[in-house]
Amino acid sequence: MEEAEAEMENDEQRSALRLTEFINKFIIVNSTITKLIEEDRVTDLESYLRIRADARILEKMKDKLNNIKSINEVSADDLFILDFTDKITTEKEVTGSEADRFSNLVEKMFGKPIIAVVFDEMIKQWEADLQMDRAKKEDAFDAFNEAQTTYDRCVRLEKAGDATEEDLAEMRKLKEKLPKLEAAHSELQKAIGHRQDYIEAAEGMLRVYEGDESLAEVVGADVDVIKDNVEEVGLVVIDCMNRGKQWEELSEESKGLIVDFSNIFRKAAKMRSKEVVEAIGVAG
């Protein structure tokens, strides 16, 4: 790119080349982050959330790139954010002042710390998925219950000698169908499992990322106690909600932490989930 720019005959050509270079770098950084998310090998909570935060930042930047016509529309802040994100994803060293500038720019972009934005979105998606699975479970139970009732009626008619050929055919059909309906209901019941507990526990993590003032609204003076345990709770929540780990696989200590956080943040989580339920209702 540098060699090509040296051969450009005018500013217009150089400007077009710089824009191409910027877009090219964006594509490379974005691809790197996408690959990191797909591989999902990160084992510490901060890095896990940081990668998703970077993806969210680039997603917002992509909206601008879709309508950009000239490199002059790319600000110094845009260039800095892309360069900084590149450094983070490739594990290059950054200075304290660079980190502060990045945090300030991103907070200005989103209105709150980016990790809080990302985690809020994750929790709301988990809640929306849970609500949909609960609805599916109710439908599955209704389907099983209806089939069982019809089957029982046919059995009674057969025993009484009053069953028609249609009743007997229906009974044979339902006898084969009932185990599948029951299994579908059981699978949904198992999938729902402890997800509500994880979502309520995750509310505590989100409060930590939103800041001490937000956290203190729920726990009062126990801010430091919650912050001391948030890393462990966070990894358990991520492992169970995003990586398929089962409640039965957790240690007793981890189960205890989830239950404690769930109890503490249940009311606050309920308020947040209300937004999701209302949004689903509007969408439906």
- Write the DSSP assignment of the chain as a string of letters: -HHHHHT--SHHHHHHHHHHHHHHHHHHHHHHHHHHHHH----SHHHHHHHHHHHHHHHHHHHHHTT---GGGS-HHHHHHHHHHHHHHTT----HHHHHHHHHHHHHHHSS-HHHHHHHHHHHHHHHHHHHHHHHHHHHHHHHHHHHHHHHHHHHHHHHT---HHHHHHHHHHHHHHHHHHHHHHHHHHHHTTHHHHHHHHHHHHHHHH-HHHHHHHHTT-HHHHHHHHHHHHHHHHHHHTS---GGGS-HHHHHHHHHHHHHHHHHHHHHHHHHHHHHHHH-
What pLDDT, on a 0 to 100 scale, did the predictor assign at position 112?
83
Q: Tens digit of pLDDT for each residue in 129-177?
A: 999 999 999 999 999 999 999 999 999 999 999 999 999 999 999 999 9
Predicted TM-score (pTM) of the model is 0.76
What pLDDT, on a 0 to 100 scale, did the predictor assign at position 53?
87
Does residue 237 carry a pLDDT above 50? yes
User: What is the token pair recorded at 235?
Assistant: 């990894």
Q: Tens digit of pLDDT for each residue in 250-279?
A: 999 999 999 999 999 999 988 887 776 666
List the domain boundaries for the chain: 2-111, 117-283
C-alpha to C-alpha distance for 155 and 163, rounded to whole angstroms: 8
Closest CA to 132 of 269, 245, 262, 281: 281
54 or 1, which is more confident? 54
Q: Are 12 and 72 in contact (CB under 8 A)?
A: no
Q: Are 54 and 85 in contact (CB under 8 A)?
A: yes
Closest CA to 184 of 129, 138, 241: 138
- Average pLDDT, whole number, for the chain? 87
- The C-alpha angle 220, 235, 101, rounded to 5 degrees, equals 70
